[in-house]
Structure 1
Amino acid sequence: MNNIERSLMKRVRISKPILFTKLIPNVITLLGLIVGVSSIRFALDSRWEIAVYCILIAGVLDGIDGRVARLLNATSPFGAELDSLCDFANFGVAPAIMIYLWSFQQYEFKLLSWFAMLLFVVCMAIRLARFNTMIFLAHDKQDKKSKYFSVGVPAPSGALLALIPMILDFEISTVLQINIRSHTILIDIYIAIVAVLLASRIPTFLLKNVHIKPEYLSLSMILSAIIIINIIIYPWYTLPIVAVSYLLSIPIAAIIARRM
């Protein structure tokens, strides 16, 4: 055996077989990527409601994969990086393209609108990059605030907030007889504000770590069921209400976090 063959043998690393169950979280993440990016295809065909549904489903899958990984003890740095890259495509690039195709194609100052979309994508990238670094730092030090608050608006929430003007145009604009698409400058300003919230260090609530007292458990389950039922039956009315409630909760979270 010559030196070249020996060096090649050293580079080859024989690893143990991996159970398929360990790959399930990554499969869910990739499924979310497929569904989320498919929203661009439906947006190109002007099928806006289906495109928004794709982003919503991608958000649900994004919330599932991490919990499945912890349940199966299959968390890994590769899974965290894959999840972050998929989030950037699903909740950064896809919503920006959808909103631009929906409202700004016929806009005479569409270069300004494209600037707002780029700002949204850039801030989403900054938010996800900071989130990745905080994951590694969390193993060394984790304060009380990080358990109950997120730094900035999370990626799925930011995507939902950005899509609210489009969602309002589905049903509510018809009821109120308002042409939301024509208010492109206001939409630009709104998207820019959402982008800043993504990259900001403003604390926002983490509902997954909220503790519920036993006496309020039944009430919490009933309220959750009511919200889910309304999202399924009346999504284009319920989602704007949820988004507005979330925006109103941001200053409350900031005040509580400062007092802590």
Structure 2
Amino acid sequence: MPPRDTERRGIPLRAVAPNAVTALALCSGLTAIRYAISADWERAILFVVVAAVLDGMDGRIARMLKGQSRFGAELDSLSDVIAFGVSPALILHLWSLQHWPRFGWVFALAYAVCMALRLARFNARIDAEDQPHKSAGFLTGVPAPAGAGLLLLPVYLWLASDRSWTWLQDYRLVAPWAALVAFLVISSVATFSWTSLRLRRNVRLEAIVVIALFGGLLFTAPWHALSAAAFLYLALIPFSLASYARVRRLRAAAASSSAASPSPAAPPVDAAPVAPDSVDKPAPRRSPPNAP
């Protein structure tokens, strides 16, 4: 009788909830494109921010419900390509880069392609255990939601100025900015992982107050808050580079010290004394079993 196939096919029910949140993030990214086509920049950016919030929720929901799956990881990457790669690139192109007819689209395309390559690199290394940045509490390059937030910084500043800073729409300024963000997305620069940051005990209350004030600013003056968050993230990149360089030095010193320290030699084994009368004597012949 052939063995029964006891493997359960399909996606477990507990994995439906995080995948549904990921699908909502995908819908938010597509909706941002819809509003960008109609030049409704506030709503376009709003739906990119909603996609970022949903992207931060799906992984935690999956871990809480123990519903992680390879399908969910692939769906999350596809959603990130649309919400944080294609959508911000189209927003920036329709807002500014389209005024550079020959080359404007190239810069928007370069950012979207770099985001897709970043996510493909993540998927290729998703099962790799040897990841120096991750093991030290860092990320490799700028993550997808942060990359989208940085790319849209000129739009934040333009909206924060009540659309009076029209010089921000100059493609000669926006195109190099898009190229810089695309480089940060695809680069191997070590950046801080928010989940690995630790606060001292004596500043916990102050941190809660700062977060609460930022939340209030996000509701009352969202473009100023998003601009401040983007500048703060840019300011943290040199500190993350210095911190990771220190971690690498400590690891190299530990590796060199362990390689330089000699391993304890095994104690010499004293040879057993040989009796003088046993020298050059043949060994006694043993009788085979069952011998008479």
TM range (shorter): 0.7 to 0.9
Alignment of 1:64 onto 2:57? yes
The alignment status of 1:192 with 2:194, answered yes or no, reads no
Q: TM-score, normalised by structure 1?
A: 0.87
Identity %: 36
Q: 1:46 aligns with which of 32, 39, 44?
A: 39
Q: What's the CA shift for 1:173?
A: 5.8
Deviation of the 1:133 alpha carbon: 2.4
Counterpart residue number, 2:113: 122
The residue that corresponds to 2:198 in the other structure is: 211
Q: Which residue of 1 aligns with 2:158?
A: 169
What is the aligned partner in structure 2 of residue 7 from structure 1? Answer: none
**What's the TM-score, normalizing by structure 2?**
0.78
| AA in 1 matched with 2:109 | L
Q: Which runs of 5+ in 1 are unaligned?
A: 1-9
Residues 165 and 180 of structure 1 are in contact (CA less than 8 Å); yes or no, is this contact kept in structure 2? no
- Which of 110, 118, 132 in structure 1 is aligned with 2:123? 132
Cα pair distance change 1:135/1:147, threshold 3 Å: farther
How many residues align structurally? 245
Alignment deviations for residues 218-259 of structure 1 (CA, whole Å, 9 cap, x no partner): 222111111122112111111111101111111111111011
CA offset digits 1:116-163 (Å, max 9, x no partner): 1111011101111122223211xx335475442110000000001111
Q: Distance in 1 between matches of 2:222 and 2:178?
A: 21
The answer as to 2:144 corresponding to 1:155 is: yes
- Which residue type is aligned with residue 144 of structure 2? A
Which of the residues 196, 201, 221 maps onto 1:234? 221
Q: CA deviation at 1:17?
A: 8.0
Aligned-pair Cα RMSD in Å: 2.2
Structure holding more helix per residue: 1
Q: Counterpart of 2:43 in 1: which secondary structure?
A: helix
Letter in 2 for 1:179: T
Q: Secondary structure at the match of 1:208?
A: helix
Change (3 A) 1:21 1:104: same
Q: Within 5 Å, give how 1:14-53 maps onto structure 2.
A: 15=8, 20-53=13-46
Q: Give a deviation string over 1:43-102, Cα, whole Å, max 9, x none.
A: 111111000000000000000000110010001111011000100010000111111111
Verify the 8 A CA contact 2:133 2:140 in the aligned structure 1.
no
Aligned to 2:283: none
* Contact kept? 1:173, 1:179, Cα under 8 Å: no
